[in-house]
Structure 1
Amino acid sequence: MSTPIRQQYLDLRKRYPGTILFFRLGDFYETFDDDAKLVAQELQITLTSKPMGKDLRVPLAGVPYHSIDQHVAKLVARGYRVAICEQLADPSEVKGLVPRDVVRIVTAGTVTSEASLEAGRANYLGALVHRGRDAALALADVTTGEVRLVPGDAAAVELGRSPVAELLVEDLADAAGAAMPVVLRPLLSDMAVDAALAEQFGEHAREALVPGPAAAAALAHLLAYLRETFPAALGSLQRIRAESGADELLVDERTLRNLDVFPGPGRTSSLLAVIDRCRTAMGTRLLRHWLAHPLRDPARLAERHDAVGWAAANPIERERVRSVLRAIPDLARLAGRVGARTATPRDLAALRDGLRAVLDLGALLSSCGLPPLLEGALRGLSGAAEPLATLDAALAEDPPAAFDDGGVIRPGFSPEIDSLHALTRDARSFLLGLERLERERTGIKSLKVGHNKVFGYYIEVSAANVALVPPHYQRRQTLVGAERYVTEELKEHEARLVGARERLVELERQAFASLLETLAAGLAALQSVADAVALVDVVLALGEVAADQGYTRPVFTEGDLVIRGGRHPVVEAAVGPGRFVPNDCVLDSETQILVVTGPNMSGKSTFLRQVALIALMAQAGSFVPAAEARLPLFDRIFSRIGAHDDLAAGQSTFMVEMVETAQILHRATPQSLVILDEVGRGTSTYDGMAIARSVIEFLHNRKEGAARTLFATHYHELTALEGILPRVRNAHVAVREEGAEIVFEHRVVPGPADRSYGIHVARLAGLPRAVVARAEHLLAELEAERAAHGRSSAAHARNGSAPEPAFQPPLFGGPSPVEAALAALDVDGMTPIEAIQKLYELRAMVLQQRVPR
């Protein structure tokens, strides 16, 4: 038969399946049974056992209460959900079984421990919902109270570019390929959606705040999930920001990864790492958001660029303000704890220090002539005055971490608390003086007055002096070499002290809770202050980068893309100042597709990426690494770079390449920027060349207009397209030969490359000399064979006879069966699988042409 506490545990265990249940027992959180075995293994702690009934011992593993956060952080990071069961009453005041219940469930999207969070990165709980053809993604960061709604087609892009830690869905098909933990939720009725929104935001919240039924359902799922897992967090969710995506440059996860915009697995260098000079965590999070959500609104971009320009041009003011920013803590997450009512005395002390620094920041900025964006931020900073006054009045200057001994509330705030403080001070003074008095009374010079949690206050006398102990001393404890005693006087003063301390702690807890409620009532103002600080921080950081690195303000135009002296910001930072070779890029009405050739390692990919990064930085609101940048406002940036398998989805490298290319061809518009690097390299030479040419032709010949495209390739045959397609131009990376060696100049110049220099690169890479020599010999044979074939074809042409089949398929001569088949393809209407099948058919046609007649 189980003990009552065992039965209490089992009842809670049934209510929270799929979690690891941490059960509070005194100063420990314990796990039992299979949970204990798992926790012991994952946390590398000791697995023991505990008797919990007749002939019943169960596995047990526990952690001290003060270290629970770091242990939970490890488990959540490894994909587990953790239920925290607390004691709901003081065990010393309860007869029998202490009541317990689960107070929260910690998941990847609801974690708040600093041990689990990255300071400069948001941590979103997401909900993706479809209602008919309508889709929406709702995002909530419970650490700050931020809530975002992204409806329509932008929802899928947003899921990839925002740091979503956990995703709620009604249908697992909606989360196919998701990299984060996915939680399946039941379908919500319209009535349930309305009820959830009304409970959190008021009766007419759906009509006033939420754009469409899918967005309403997604937000309702977030609220319902938080009520189950972390109901306190609902107090911080007060502001909703609906985002349409229509005024943003859409950049999907693949493009952000290909351009190294953010750090990721296996790489630390990134655009963010180069330009993040922010002094606060709030600033870094906002900069991440700007880079992932560039704008298309010229007015808003002008505001950002005006502000960055002011910061770049005023170094003295910039550094003064930045020195104050260094002292400001993460006000947004502190405000989130205020809203959730989970802030500690130390949290509020940090909040108060931060608000004081905010007022200093405002005073500095108010003496400067500011552009409009910073003027708006200055108004937001003024909201710090009222909560600071509230904190100054109530909170002690240096409050302790806990309420055990008082000292949380400022003297003068509450007369009753002040009197209890005086009483405890007097009692402590008496007890400290008692030791001196008792030594004089008894003549025992080594007598000591001490305290412990079990026996309270005591008088300790060494065994050698026990004969001198007065009769009124009452023995309480015997130690090796000493005896401990109490007296009626000591017990009386101890009772006064303990009673006063307990009352003091109770009153201070009440006063602190009231202080939290007062601050939470003005939570919107606190969040606005945090937003304003983040904005100032980002603008000044970008201004400092622009001044230090020689970045220039971009200019937006209706048509042409003209970059003079453009640089790749990440590569430039890696190689050091003055060592990066700048390059120009012009895409205008005559050059909408630039075919870039040149050997490996020469800089083709760097050139492509730097153009895309300059466009992205410009529309994020940053200055750019170029001598001059005149750019159109792009609607999307697409990239197809590199090769990788998706074996879990049953896709080879080439299939992944084709799927990604197909998505670009279907979605790119004349307002898009397309970066394609080595398309077609995942299959045979002729297949790949056919695909590469057909991709260029498709982009060039679209009726609505060509997307501006940079196309890097090793297929030198594609350079012939400059003479066939009117808006295609060639460029190549210059190479200089010095004897048997080659020197990469990293300059992009007009015209095609003359050859690939692959064997030279192989030699630089360290291939064995025998391999390189053999490759050179084989290359000479192949080139001689091609030259002889060319002479034979010319002779046939002079004699009027049909030439032998060309070594190169006739993609670049007159119309051929392959070209006719390519021209007849309905590319927009084909699925990826159909496209692959058609490629095999085209290859068969090419091979048939090569068979000698």
Structure 2
Amino acid sequence: MTANVKLTPMLRQYLEIKEQHDNTILFYRMGDFYEMFFDDAEVASKILNITLTSRNNKSDAKKVPMCGIPYHAAQNYLAKLVRAGKRVAICEQVENPAEAKGIVKREVVRIVSPGVVTEDDLLDDKSNNYVCAVTRKETGKQFLFGLSLLDASTGEFLVGEFQDDTGKGEIVLDQLTRLTPSEILINEDTHNELSPLLQSARILLPDLCITERPDSLYHYESLQDQLLDHFQVTTLDGFGCRGFSTGVIAAGILLDYINETQKAGLDHISRITPIKLDSYLQIDDSSRRNLELTQTIIGAKRDGSLLAVLDQTCTPMGARLLKHNLLFPLQDRTEITQRHDCIGFLYQHSGTRKTFRELLDSIYDLERLTSRMILGSGNGRDMLAMKQSLGQLPTVLELLQKCSDVRKLEEIGSRFDPLDDLYTLLEKGINPEAPITLRDGNLIREGYNSELDELIAIQRDGKQMILALESTEREATGIAKLKVGFNKVFGYYFEVSRIHADKIPEHYIRKQTLVNAERFITPELKEFESKVLGAEERRLELEYQLFTEIRSKLGGESGRLLDTARELAAIDLFCSLAEVAQKYNYRRPNITDDDTILISEGRHPVIERSLPAGQFVPNDVLLNHEDQQLLIITGPNMAGKSTVLRQTALIVLMAQMGSFVPAAAATIGIVDKIFTRVGAMDDLRRGQSTFMVEMSETANILNNATSKSLVILDEIGRGTSTYDGLSIAWAVAEELVGKNDIGVKTLFATHYHELTDLAKNQDRVQNFSIAVREWNETIIFLHKLIKGGANRSYGIQVAGLAGVPDHVVDRAQEILKNIEQGGLENRGNSPASHPVQPKPRKKKTHPDQLSLFQPPPDRIHDFLASIDPDELTPKKALDILYELMDLVK
């Protein structure tokens, strides 16, 4: 692009800086604009939809493509480029153009990439924005993967190390889909080795930005030294990273990248936390999607997810912690119980909870505010937000001290730092009307600095000061008509009439003689002049200096600020879950170390929110290793089998994240893993058919489920022929009930009614079904889980409810009867394969039901539902018949 281009000194400087940042778009500051040239201009102009121009207008010279944006509007344009997956280098003028000799000195002060942004406009305040690094090492027949993630806006720093037999990094991929980083760093020389992992990551995270780093950086010793130096420690063992090798390399690469891109202190990165999967209830990517924990399957929307139901937080910090806890439920019974204690206390003491929430509602995102102070991007608005937030802390502490009966809240109170000194600093130093921009003045409050106060007074009271000076000199000299004047030639002067020449003091210096007067200056007058004329410029300079000093002081206290922010996030989380529990009638679960799951009147937390109060039909579920380890659940489509399955998994997950649950009561034995195989669709992006998706998920379950796991299966084997599907489903069920002679707690919904025969020879298999009643050629869904298998699938009736034309439904009924009586004739024709004429059908006396939920109350249906036919004597059956006749009448 630069061939045959006449390079000016400015363009040479641009290209020198650009060469150091080859894979970025360079925002090159020129006055009030950021300019882009050559390829950068062509790429950016298309993304930003701005005009592409040229720098050289001479017809005989090659033109240089260029485009520009106003510096004061850079944020909006920067956001578009980052969302397009671009990295942007911000190149500023680092010296005053008026004082520069030759070309103005410029430097890149910051690099912004999708994974490294700190501006509010570019971030989702309810989610972390991670950049991650992945490393891979072959150790014999196994592969060791290192993974590290860092949120530059909050300072959260994670590291993990994972063994992998295949080298494809499935465990790493599962963590990537769980934490959804925006950018991933890899060694440029290992791109091929990581190719399978990267291909899958690109598919599952389509907006992921992949950044290659030089191989020369990937040295364990130097990267470990960087980490030790940053944390000021001699070993990483204290962080729980003993024995990490590839993980340390990944973490070191991340720290190096943040240092390179931010060009500022990183004091807010004060700790590194190991990812130890054994500490958490593990949920794989497909199960997280099936259960719609953070977003819906269709549309990938937050609304309609479990997270949206549970999020009643008041602060962004609390919202992020809630999401983290939802994605990382616990296995530690003690910690879970302590969380339940907090929620129980705040549930019962609604006044305390309300006061906490009112205080939290006035607190801004302290984590990200602190990060901006450290990184040098905090502005006046950020300072005021921090001051308002810190102003609530003493009252928060007072309230915590009243919660001493709850261990976890007492611990938070004992650690809680109200940061009084930092609030005082902001109260005294920052103007309550401070602007966002830092070079326009009005940042510092009067009374904070004496020199600034004088400059402000000069600007505001300049005329009065001149009159005061004039009055003082009149008294001192005895010249009544002495006056102060000003001109552009020699500034301020004293003018005295010739008739008073004999009264002129000796220290007056004559500057000009007029016909009737003379003009003088004095050293004091010149000092006053320099103050008045330079007051505005000096004031702006001094205010900026004082502001940056205050910002640095806050950055220096980042550890205290972030610790307090974390405590506030925990309080917000507990208040939110207590608010949800009271609002939606959740109950505290009983957490045990045994293997029983007992849920009484459980409800689906998301689906019940879409229905009028009281219309969701609750269900009981019991799973154990004695007599109800695998439940075969039959019933027609639309009856609610999937709802029962999903709500059981969600109730277990909610209980172990520390939440109350949507049930009348629940006893939850600690679960180590939740697996779901719910629904199926072709995954064409990964080249997998419906059946392959089913079998891949099923294989994962069979290989990794333990006796402490919970497995949710919905329709195994639908993607192949009936006999193949039935055989696979049967074999899978047998494996789950007999695995390692202990078995796995499983809910298994199926349309294969033959599977109910498993209960005849497997003591721990029980048959259940979703209750359905027929009514005038249609069916009514009761959505109630009852003991015993269903004897019919009602597929044809459901087709009618779904709107299939009547004559097609009639024809299906005929074919079904013929198949049941004699099967198909040769050539696949039904014995009654003559054309069917549409015939009148009885008018339905019950409306079509497309809902999964409870129909309006009906006395006959309720009566029938209460009957257990297996316990009826002939006499009792006759009595019931008479009762039904009375009800009809």
TM-score of the alignment, normalized to the shorter chain, above 0.5? yes
Change over 3 Å in CA distance of 1:369–1:220 after alignment to 2: closer
SS in 2 for 1:388: helix
Q: 1:181 aligned to 2:184?
A: no
Shift of the 136–51 alpha-carbon distance from structure 1 to 2, 3 Å rule, reads same
Shift in Å, 1:492 = 12
Q: Deviations over 1:458-477 (max 9, x none)?
A: xxxxxxxxxxxxxx9xxxxx
Deviation string for 1:342-378 (max 9, x for gaps)? 2112211211110101222222333345411112222
Structure 2 residue 593 is the aligned partner of structure 1 residue 593: no
Report the counterpart of residue 520 of structure 1 in structure 2.
555
**What is the identity, as a one-letter code, of the residue corresponding to 2:159?**
L
- Partner residue in 2 for 1:365: 400
Of 301, 308, 311, the residue aligned with 2:336 is 301
Aligned residue number for residue 483 of structure 1 = none
Q: Which moved more, 1:709-718 or 1:13-22?
A: 13-22
1:26–1:498 CA distance, 2 compared to 1 (3 A): farther
The alignment covers a number of residue pairs equal to 735
**2:13 matched to which residue of 1?**
8
Q: Which residue of 2 is the match for residue 337 of structure 1?
A: 372
Q: 1:405-430: CA deviations, max 9, x gaps?
A: 53322323222222222222233878
Assess if the C-alpha contact under 8 Å between 2:455 and 2:531 holds in 1.
no
* Post-superposition offset of 1:48: 2.5
Aligned AA (2:200): G
3-state SS of paired residue (1:752): coil
Q: Aligned partners of 2:623 and 2:767: how far apart in 1?
A: 12
Q: Distance in 1 between matches of 2:426 and 2:531?
A: 31
Equivalent of 2:807 in 770, 778, 791: 770
- Pair 223,334 (structure 1): closer, same or farther in 2 beyond 3 Å: same
- For 2:532 and 2:800, the matched residues in 1 are separated by 84
Matched residue, 1:681:
718
Q: Which runs of 4+ in 1 moved over 6 A?
A: 428-433, 491-495
* Displacement after TM superposition at 1:569 (Å): 0.3
Residue deviations 1:277-313, cap 9 Å, x none? 1111111111101111111111111110000001111
Question: Match for residue 226 of structure 2?
Answer: 196
In the alignment, what sits opposite 2:782? 745
Confirm whether residue 17 of structure 1 aligns to residue 34 of structure 2.
no
Over 3 Å counting, the alpha-carbon distance change for 1:429 and 1:213 in structure 2 is: farther
Paired position in structure 1 for 2:246: 214
TM-score (norm 2): 0.79
**Partner residue in 2 for 1:162:** 179
Deviation of 1:186 (Å): 4.2
Aligned residue identity for 1:192: S
Mark the CA change 1:379 to 1:81 in structure 2 (over 3 Å): closer, same or farther.
same
AA partner of residue 303 (structure 1): Q
Cα distance, 1:529–1:52 mapped onto 2, change above 3 Å: farther
Match of 1:25, as an amino acid? Answer: M
Deviation at 1:104, TM superposition (A): 2.0
SS of corresponding position for 2:28: strand
Asked whether 1:238 is paired with 2:270, we answer: yes
Q: State the 1:704 CA deviation.
A: 4.8
772-781 or 43-52, which moves further after superposition? 43-52
Taking the TM superposition and a 5 Å limit, the aligned residue runs for 1:133-532 are 133-152=143-162, 155-170=172-187, 171-172=190-191, 173=194, 174-178=197-201, 179=205, 180-187=208-215, 188-202=218-232, 204-209=234-239, 210-211=241-242, 212-232=244-264, 234-264=266-296, 265-267=299-301, 268-427=303-462, 496-532=531-567
Q: Which amino acid aligns with 1:227?
A: N
1:130: Cα distance to partner? 3.2
Give the match for residue 618 of structure 1: 655
SS at match of 1:611: helix
1:697 Cα deviation (Å)? 1.1
Following superposition, the deviation at residue 547 of structure 1 comes to 1.1
| Cα distance, 1:592 vs structure 2 | 0.7
Separation of aligned partners in 1, 2:99 and 2:450: 28
2:869 alignment counterpart: none
Q: CA–CA distance in 1 between the matches of 2:652 and 2:689?
A: 31
Report the equivalent of 1:848. Answer: none
Whether the 8 Å contact between 2:267 and 2:558 is mirrored in structure 1 is no
Q: Which runs of 5+ in 1 are unaligned?
A: 434-471, 473-490, 789-853
Aligned to 2:89: 83
Aligned-partner Cα distance in 2 for 1:595–1:382: 54
CA contact 1:383–1:525 (8 Å) conserved in 2: no
In structure 2, what is the equivalent of residue 730 of structure 1? 767
In the superposition, relative to structure 1, how do residues 386 and 246 fare at CA in structure 2: closer, same or farther (>3 Å)? farther
Instruction: Check whether the contact 2:597–2:621 (CA below 8 A) recurs between aligned residues.
Output: yes
* Secondary structure in structure 1 of the residue aligned to 2:118: coil
- Are residues 208 and 315 of structure 1, via their aligned partners in 2, closer, same or farther at CA, if it must alter by over 3 Å? closer
- The residue aligned with 1:660 is 697
Amino acid of the residue matched to residue 163 of structure 1?
Answer: T
Secondary structure at the counterpart of residue 272 of structure 2: strand
Structure 1 pair 431–727 and aligned structure 2 pair: CA distance change class (3 A): farther
The whole-number CA distance in structure 2 between the counterparts of 1:57 and 1:696 is 72
Higher mean C-alpha displacement, 223-232 vs 183-192:
183-192
The partner residue of 1:714 within 747, 751, 774 is 751
Deviation of 1:561 after TM superposition, in Å, equals 1.0
2:109 to 103, 109, 125: 103
Distance 1:41 1:416 in 2: 50
1:235 is paired with a residue whose SS is coil
Equivalent position of 2:64 in the other structure: 58
Instruction: Name the SS for the 1:746 alignment partner.
Output: strand
> Structure 1 residues 692-701 or 416-425, which shifts more?
416-425
Provide the rounded CA distance (Å) in 1 between the counterparts of 2:402 and 2:230. Answer: 41
- CA distance, structure 2, for counterparts of residue 702 and residue 543 of structure 1: 39
What letter is aligned with 1:61? C
Residue 617 of structure 1 aligns with an amino acid whose one-letter code is M
Indicate conservation of the 8 Å contact 1:167/1:181, yes or no: yes
Q: Deviation at 1:270?
A: 0.8
Separation in 1, partners of 2:56, 2:824 = 89
Quick one: which of 20, 31, 36 aligns to 1:31? 36
Does the C-alpha gap of structure 1 residues 775 and 613 become closer, same or farther in structure 2, counting only changes over 3 Å? same
1:496-547 deviation line (CA, Å, top 9, x unaligned): 5452222222222222222222222221110011111111111111111111
Counterparts of 1:85 and 1:704, CA distance in 2: 66
Q: Does 1:560 align with 2:596?
A: yes
Q: How does 1:634-645 map to 2 (within 5 A)?
A: 634-645=671-682
Q: 1:382 to 1:184 in 2, by over 3 A?
A: same
Contact 1:383 1:528 in 2 (8 A): no
Percent of paired sites with the same residue: 41
Could you tell me whether the CA contact under 8 Å between 1:136 and 1:215 is conserved in 2?
yes
Give, in whole Å, the separation in 1 of the partners of 2:670 and 2:353: 29
Q: Distance in 2 between matches of 1:35 and 1:779?
A: 68
8 Å contact from structure 1 (residues 81, 107) kept in 2? yes
Deviation at 1:76, TM superposition (A): 1.3
Question: What is residue 54 of structure 2 aligned with on the other side?
Answer: 49
Query: What is aligned with 2:124?
Result: 118
Deviates more, 1:582-591 or 1:616-625: 582-591
Question: How far apart are 1:207 and its partner, in Å?
Answer: 4.5
The amino acid that maps onto 1:140 is L
**Alpha-carbon distance in 2 for matches of 1:45, 1:773:** 63
The 1:406/1:654 distance shift into structure 2, 3 A limit, reads same
Q: Distance in 1 between matches of 2:434 and 2:25?
A: 34
Residue 647, structure 1, aligned to residue 684, structure 2: yes
* Distance of 2:745 and 2:399 partners within structure 1: 45
Are the structure 2 counterparts of residues 182 and 410 from structure 1 closer, same or farther at C-alpha, using a change threshold of 3 Å? same
Q: Secondary structure at the match of 2:308?
A: helix
Task: Determine whether 1:697 maps to 2:707.
Answer: no
